[in-house]
Copies of this chain bind each other. A is one copy, B any other.
Amino acid sequence: MARGLNSVNLVGTLTQAPEMRYTANGLAILELNVAGNDHVVGSDGQERELAWYHRVSLFGNQAEMMADQLNAGDPVFIDARLNFRSWETPEGQRRSMLSLNANRVERVTYGTRSDQPTVQDARGQDRLRFALNEARIIGNLTRDAELRYTPSGDAVLGLSVAVNERYRDRSGQDQESTHFVDVDLWRELAEASADLQKGAPVFVTGRLKNDSWTDREGNQRRTTKIEASRIEFLTRGSESGGSGTPAGGGGRSQPAASPNPPAPAPSESRLDIDEEFPPEEDLPF
């Protein structure tokens, strides 16, 4: 699998005071609710302000340091990573969630947009008007792309991307985890990416958004995904490419523009993607 890239930057307003809690092991977790407006150009060429609300967790010493510094209404800068978790309900159904773990949170001032920097939402919460909302990932497709069209004729492509992450945990052990990230592509981007197949490595950048939908049992469900503003098709998907891998020198040239990269080798993928990823019918369109 491609070595993952997993980065989210947000600038938004805290909609409420942060909440501190502690795990059974005593780890501090500060939960932040952040909101902002993106400025997006629609299919009609018109710019729209689209609201977003994201929940971000900050951990450990940083959580304790920031707890007393942050108040409802404060504008903040957040550098974060996407974090995938999945579990089984008591009824035996698989559920998953994509959350945001902060590397750092900084309080900012209303500097450069000081005239009407926020709008109030229906709950009376301040939301930053000119927010920053940028996600960047590198990963491999968990299934073939499938192009669809909305009733109004807009092309839309839903990708699911497995982002591989290697990191050193608190006890100094090297760990590996995989984050499954849904990506929506629209119009030209969707049509140009329609031939992508399972295993293909991609770089995606775009805005992070939440969708909600009602599942077959009538439950309200939520998912966090990236709406892509750009996608790049990488050409060396099955190589791990880390500087620490004994790759045996260069010269592993591939055909110039392989449209169909091999699926990840079983020995390299810690998880069985098909089993671990929520079933197709569980996903919103």
Contact = CB atoms under 8 A, between A and B. Distances in A.
Copies in the complex: 2
Contacts of A233: 108-109, 111
Interface stretch (A90-98, A241-249, A270-278): A241-249
Interface residues of A, number: 60
Interface centre among A11, A104, A112, A205 (most CB of B within 10 A): A112
B203 A138 contact: no
A214 interface: no
A250 B67 CA distance: 7
Contacts of A201: 106
A204 to B, nearest CB: 11
A192 B112 contact: yes
A216 B9 CA distance: 41
Nearest to A185: B112
Interface in A178-207: 188-189, 192-193, 201, 203, 205
Nearest 7 Cβ contacts at the A-B interface: A112-B192, A111-B233, A68-B250, A109-B257, A108-B232, A107-B235, A106-B234
Interface of A: 2-3, 5, 7, 9, 11, 59-62, 64-69, 77, 79, 104, 106-114, 132, 136, 138, 188-189, 192-193, 201, 203, 205, 230-236, 239, 241, 243-247, 249-254, 256-257
